Amino acid sequence: MTSLAWERRRGSATRFWKAYRSHRAGLYGLAGLALIALLALTAPWTVGADVQSVTNAPGTALESPSAEFPLGTDQFGRSLLGLLIWGSRISLLVGLLAAVLSVAIGTLVGVLAGHYGGWLSTVVMRITDWFLVMPALVLAIVLATVMSRSVWTVVLAIGITCWPTTARLVRAQTIAVESRPYIERATALGGGHGHVMARHVLPNVMPLVLAQTTLGISAAILTEATLAFLGLGDPTVTSWGGMLQDAREAGAVSSGHWWYLAPPGIAIALVALAFTLCGRAVESVLNPRLGVGR
């Protein structure tokens, strides 16, 4: 029984990959992500945590790009290339965690609202609607302002402002799944609420959730950079948004030090783009009617 289920799952994963492979943009996105993940994961050996140290900075302040510092140095004399690679860890971590958090909340709310229906659904969807009309960025900024400065605050601020879209989509999908006959069969055989939601609804909304997570990560990375740029991030860790804030404070704009300013922004854009491309490819594999990849 279980082996049969696994075989079918493997089969559908293979079909998914075959369809995904035909989206060239999605493959570029995936390749880009693999490269960036490799850089971020190997950072402790390639650049090391010392790169953040202000006291033992190897260079002098605001050097132009040279052989020793390919991207120049910041106002403390630290290597910008090293900071850029090290900063990828926080940006990716916050992006991933925040997206996973928001999608988890959205999935939970959506499945519960879709499964139980009735007044619970009305109340929950009313709250969701209300979150949906809130300007997410402003709410995240306000939350980050009123809580203490840390990476977790940023994760939390992004996570609890971005879930409503997922909740709506998951609820719609849950209702669609539950109208199928096999759910009736499961209930007739004595399956309770928990069984139906966990074993039948959840596996069917998972693909949608996956697509939402991928798209959510790029939004979360951009929001993280924004919060850090506004000075609401953790000042003790290096992130790409924080580097941009440092650059602005060091007067890189008025003195025209574009080499300080350009790389972190390009890095943010590339990562966000890579996740968006993957997310859109996944979305169009799951729902060819969207016409994304046509």
Nearer to other proteins, 87 or 264 (CB): 264
Nearer to other proteins, 88 or 200 (CB): 88
**Considering the complex, what minimum distance in angstroms separates the CB of residue 60 from other proteins?**
22
**Considering the complex, what minimum distance in angstroms separates the CB of residue 261 from other proteins?**
6
**Considering the complex, what minimum distance in angstroms separates the CB of residue 20 from other proteins?**
18
**Considering the complex, what minimum distance in angstroms separates the CB of residue 254 from other proteins?**
6
Cβ neighbours around 126 below 10 Å, total: 9
From the number of C-beta atoms within 10 Å of its C-beta (0-12, 13-18, 19+), residue 171 rates as: buried
Nearer to other proteins, 57 or 166 (CB): 166
Residue 73, strand partner residues: 79
**Considering the complex, what minimum distance in angstroms separates the CB of residue 164 from other proteins?**
7
Q: Which helix (H) or strand (E) covers residue 112, if one does?
A: helix 80-116
Nearer to other proteins, 186 or 273 (CB): 273
Using the Cα atoms of residue 193, residue 194, residue 196 and residue 202 in order, give the sign of their dihedral. Answer: positive
DSSP one-letter string for 79-105: BHHHHHHHHHHHHHHHHHHHHHHHHHH
Residues that bind other proteins (CB under 8 A): 25, 129-130, 132-139, 141-143, 145-146, 148, 161-162, 164-165, 168-169, 172, 212, 215, 218-219, 222-223, 225-226, 229-232, 241, 244, 247-248, 253-256, 258, 261-262, 264-265, 268-270, 272-273, 276-277, 289-292, 294
Nearer to other proteins, 57 or 247 (CB): 247
Nearer to other proteins, 34 or 138 (CB): 138
CA triple 108-282-166, angle to 5 deg: 25
Dihedral-angle region of residue 241 (phi above 0 means left; psi in -120 to 50 means alpha; beta otherwise): alpha
Q: What does the alpha-carbon distance between residue 284 and residue 266 come to, in Å, rounded to a whole number?
A: 27
**Considering the complex, what minimum distance in angstroms separates the CB of residue 241 from other proteins?**
8
